[in-house]
Amino acid sequence: MHKDSIIFDLINQELQRQRNGIELIASENFTSLQVMEAMGTSLTNKYAEGYPGKRYYGGCEIVDQIETLAIERLKQVFNAGWANVQPHSGAQANTAVFMACLKPGDTILGLDLSMGGHLTHGSPANFSGKNYRAVHYGVTKDGLVDYEQLEEKARTEKPKMIICGASAYSRDWDYKRIRAVADEIGALVLADIAHPAGLIASGLLNDPFDHCHIVTSTTHKTLRGPRGGIIMLRHDFENPYGVKDPKGNLRLMSSMLDLAVFPGMQGGPLEHVIAAKAVAFGEILSEDFKAYGQQVISNAQAMAKAFVSKGYNLISNGTDNHLMLIDLRNKNITGKKAQETLDKAHITLNKNSVPQDDKSPFVTSGIRVGVPAVTTRGLKEADMDTVVEMIDKVLMNADDAGVIESVKSDVKMFMNKFPLYPELG
């Protein structure tokens, strides 16, 4: 069989793009080489519907060991009592939780997408907003979660589930306060920690497991694993809906969640990705990973300080985690123009709505900037000044092709000092 030179040439072009650019998309990272190696294996050939020891196909004795190892390592990472590693993405992990805990039309309370929330927390464009009655809380004028509004909405709307977590929020969460109002109204709390999961795993941010009933995450952001989703419980508990198993016993929430993932919303798990998750979870259990998490926070705070020194308006005036949200209106450039112009200089980030944005989600007034990927490359605090200097130069000269070309050359030379996958040639 001849090698597909077209596809492999494009794959190589993508490797070069990653090597030569500054990657500041907050939801992206670079996995280790062994995580990628685990994904590109014969495990991709194996169908394994069901769970370890309870499969619908034969020949699963080895993938059973792999998936069990992934589960056990993940439980160790977060000190969890139960975990499911099969969801193909964070969105599917959330879908399964909703399926296990809610009926169509039930009320959910989540952070508004325009205030930094996620599509799956009740956006009308998403299944979560289409299938359930979604109400939202927002952020204060200082850019912090408006807990008073959250509590007021919880008491008046009586949601079945309160969702905490975000895709563009730079501060830590008060999970204890959210659980208190949830207990008052009889709601479950879902913490979606897709973004800060790696920092939580390292003990650098508040632990949602202490207060939230169910926790979901992706595995490819600050956890630095392959693209995928996970669902976890610190403590299992009987489902509050009276659902019974065939023997007449109340089903445990772990059983409800397992059934929601399979056969509820997906068929065969991606065992090659689950193997890569297991590798990543093993890496997270090393001392090196905590040092990485500390460097992520140090880099984010150094970058935030550099932006502020150049007059940029950071929502909430800083960051506790790996990202920052910047309102560009005082710089007279839209998020869309900023993203597209920086792309030309090989600096990658994303346009993002900011609180009280007066522009459409396709244009936006802001950008979201994250440091997990550049921290993996080896950049330190002093390098954040260099990166911000280059960003500012591009944004302040957005219509000058010569300046942009010059910065693009500087970016490539700068990033050559931080090799990415040198083993790949």
Residue of 112, 192, 258, 383 with catalytic role: 192
Q: Is 224 considered catalytic here?
A: no
Q: What would the two tokens of residue 413 be?
A: 């030379």
Instruction: For residue 112, report the phi and psi dihedrals to the nearest 5 degrees.
Output: -60, 135
Asked if 83 and 157 count as a contact pair (C-beta separation under 8 A), the reply is no
Angle made by CA atoms 96, 101, 106, in degrees to the nearest 5: 110
Q: Is 381 considered catalytic here?
A: no
Q: Is 49 considered catalytic here?
A: yes
Q: Is 177 considered catalytic here?
A: no
Residue of 31, 216, 218, 219 with catalytic role: 218
Cis omega before residue 263 (within 30°)?
yes
Smallest CA-to-CA distance from 110 within 153, 170, 58, 60 is with 153
Residue of 221, 224, 331, 377 with catalytic role: 221
CA distances, 420 to each of 15, 323, 369 (Å) = 9, 22, 20
Distance CA 311, CA 333 (A): 14
Residue of 46, 55, 73, 227 with catalytic role: 227
First vs last Cα of the chain: how many Å apart? 24
Residues with Cβ within 8 Å of residue 153, at least 6 apart in sequence: 109, 135, 136, 137, 159
Distance CA 307, CA 299 (A): 12
Q: Is 174 considered catalytic here?
A: no
Residue of 49, 343, 385, 392 with catalytic role: 49
**Strand 54-55, strand 82-84: pairing:** unpaired
Q: Which residues are catalytic?
A: 47, 49, 192, 218, 221, 227
